[in-house]
Structure 1
Amino acid sequence: MQYSIMLKPVKIGQILKISLLLALLISLPRSIYIYNMLSDGNLELSGDLLIDFLGRYVFFVVFSWIMLQFNTNTVYLYFKESPRLRVMLSILVNILILILFLNLFNYLFPFITGQEMDDRARGFSNFNYTVLMVVLFFIARVLRLQTDQQESKLENERLKQQNLQSELAALKNQIDPHFLFNSLNSLTSLIRDNKPATQFVNKLSHMYRYILQSGDSNLVAVKEELKFLESYAYLIETRYRDRFKLNIEINEAYLDEKLPPMALQLLVENAVKHNEISASHPLKVDIVQRNGSIFVENGIRPRTNLADGTKNGLINLKKRYALLLKQDLTIRQDNDIFSVELPLAKEA
């Protein structure tokens, strides 16, 4: 299972309850022993005895809580992409925590109880902590898997709900495609002598067809996106002429890989919406492939009359990447360059 920033942590309260219960269970043999000694009259109840018992119990609780917190949440937060490294680190840190607690307990024991711990008691204590460490390691794994499964079910339900809402919105807003295509064809016949206008309508028709066809797909091939982007770029170039330039450099080996529909078009549209486009300040958008991802980059020259709501497209795209690919959309803005990295999914 691959983890992302959306990793849901195991609840602190749940970890604390398990820690309290485990500490109680591992203290149970000693509790029974003390009870029997008290019942037989071989031991008297005293403040030192209670302090000894409570001190051991508190140490077990703290040890259990730290181990569970580390093995269920912390290690997954910082080592998301490398399961092998995560396991090796978990084992190493668990051993270090065990050694630290054993030394700390042995050091503090005389101060807590007022008496030294003999070798037999120290060996028994070391054994208890070692067994507890192994048990906690496996409990942490079960907790992590359980939490991930619950989150996966919730995420699937969210996706189903979003798909239903999208389908409903499409049904509400969709004009009969045949009607629109027939209207575009009729318009083409009226302006057939005007080649630029005919080309414009044909590109618009291609865009609409692609939007309808890709509506049923969560991911599309890069080559299909580029065809759609070519039509969209034509519409922009028709408006801005030589004030707008689109540069595409993508290796053919990546053309069959996948990304969410209209991702490239959305980022080009975002660049057009946000930046000044004039004869003195033309807009150039570069779409290049590096390190298995596609980067969409443009110079930054903000418009003075930026319309409200222009960030919704980027937010929508980030959500789609998180839901569909379990990956982050990396956005950078430095040296007057705005750059968005689009990770690609391998061809299924």
Structure 2
Amino acid sequence: MRKKPQWVQISLVAVLVFPIVYLTRETRYWYLDKVGRWHLEGSNGIWDLYIPTLFLLLQFGCYFAYVNFRENERKLKIEGELRQAALKSELAAIKAQLNPHFLYNVFNTINASLPAGSEDTRELVSGLSDLFRYQLRASRTELVPLREEMEFVTGYLDLEYARFGDRLRVSIDVPQELLERKVPPMLLQPLVENSIKHGLASLVEGGEISISIFEKGDKIHFRVADTGVGAKDKQAMFGAGVGLTNTKLRLEKMYGSVLEILDNAPQGLIVQFSL
């Protein structure tokens, strides 16, 4: 049963104490008269009302004071725990920003120290540095233009292409008019990475990644499809990889969106969501 607010409890006590004391006195007086015992009479009988009423009000006053004391202690404890949690979250956020910033500077140092004739390696290091720079920026903002998010994804795919070569084929379909729409950062890349790592990497012939974004109704729909090995237990995928699991939780908790995993034809998977 839901506990009544304290002001309701105090009001009930204030309203009921006197009638209860009065009925108790009258019942007691009736019994004493019946057995022939003495009790206060006339105006003196007021003391049998005043003293019990005062005693009960003092008791309830002490009770409510104790309840308020315990409630304030509980609130102070919760506030202290929340302050500690907020401080830990703030420190974690600072660390999350420092790590990409540190790596970004290290990559620039490595790039500058590469000997002449290492242009391919230099471009890879530069591309990786750009990815970390975007990640650092994304950690400080809630929304970015879709154009920047797609540049980040294509930069990541360029690095993967250097690894897979012709085994990796990419198809991107994003209407020009959507490129300036604001979207949450770092949502697509974990899905693309998951498709490559768990879908295509084990195939000798490789496969294709298709990214399509389109507007329907009042929502923007995101779709990442691959022609990889697929998965029988799709729910188990959310516990296998950090990126996919975190993206699912992020969509659910922050944006109220569901991350769906479907079978692709003739093989592979489709991962999609809408905002």
TM-score by length of 1: 0.47
Q: What's the CA shift for 1:252?
A: 3.1
CA radius of gyration, larger in: 2
**Residue 341 (1) aligns with residue 265 (2):** no
Matches within 5 A, 1:259-274: 259-274=183-198
Q: What's the CA shift for 1:234?
A: 2.4
Aligned length, in residue pairs: 211
> 1:68: which partner in 2?
none
Structure 1: give runs of 5+ residues left out of the alignment: 1-11, 46-145, 304-308, 344-348
User: Which protein has greater RCO, CA pairs closer than 8 Å, 6+ apart?
Assistant: 1
> 1:165: which partner in 2?
95
Cα RMSD, aligned residues only: 4.2
CA distance in 1: counterparts of 2:148 and 2:6, whole angstroms:
57
Deviation per CA, 1:251-303, whole angstroms, max 9, x where unpaired?
A: 33432334444432222111111114546562333232342243333355159
The letter for the 1-side match of 2:11 is: L
Deviation per CA, 1:212-262, whole angstroms, max 9, x where unpaired?
A: 254043343221121122222223334334433322222334323344444
CA distance in 2: counterparts of 1:32 and 1:256, whole angstroms:
72
Q: What's the CA shift for 1:43?
A: 9.2
The letter for the 2-side match of 1:247 is: S
Matches within 5 A, 1:262-341: 262-277=186-201, 278=203, 282-290=207-215, 291-299=219-227, 301-302=229-230, 311-318=241-248, 326-328=254-256, 330-336=258-264, 337-341=269-273
CA distance in 1: counterparts of 2:229 and 2:247, whole angstroms:
23
Give identity over the alignment, percent: 17
CA distance in 2: counterparts of 1:44 and 1:170, whole angstroms:
86
Q: What's the CA shift for 1:162?
A: 1.8
CA distance in 2: counterparts of 1:43 and 1:161, whole angstroms:
71
Q: Which of 179, 194, 199 pairs up with 2:109?
A: 179
Whether the 8 Å contact between 2:147 and 2:180 is mirrored in structure 1 is yes
CA distance in 1: counterparts of 2:118 and 2:17, whole angstroms:
94
The letter for the 2-side match of 1:339 is: V
Deviation per CA, 1:303-327, whole angstroms, max 9, x where unpaired?
A: 9xxxxx961222344565578xx22
Q: Would the alpha carbon gap of residues 191 and 300 (structure 1) be closer, same or farther in structure 2, given more than 3 Å must change?
A: closer
Structure 2: give runs of 5+ residues left out of the alignment: 32-74, 232-238
Whether the 8 Å contact between 1:222 and 1:258 is mirrored in structure 2 is yes
The letter for the 1-side match of 2:141 is: N
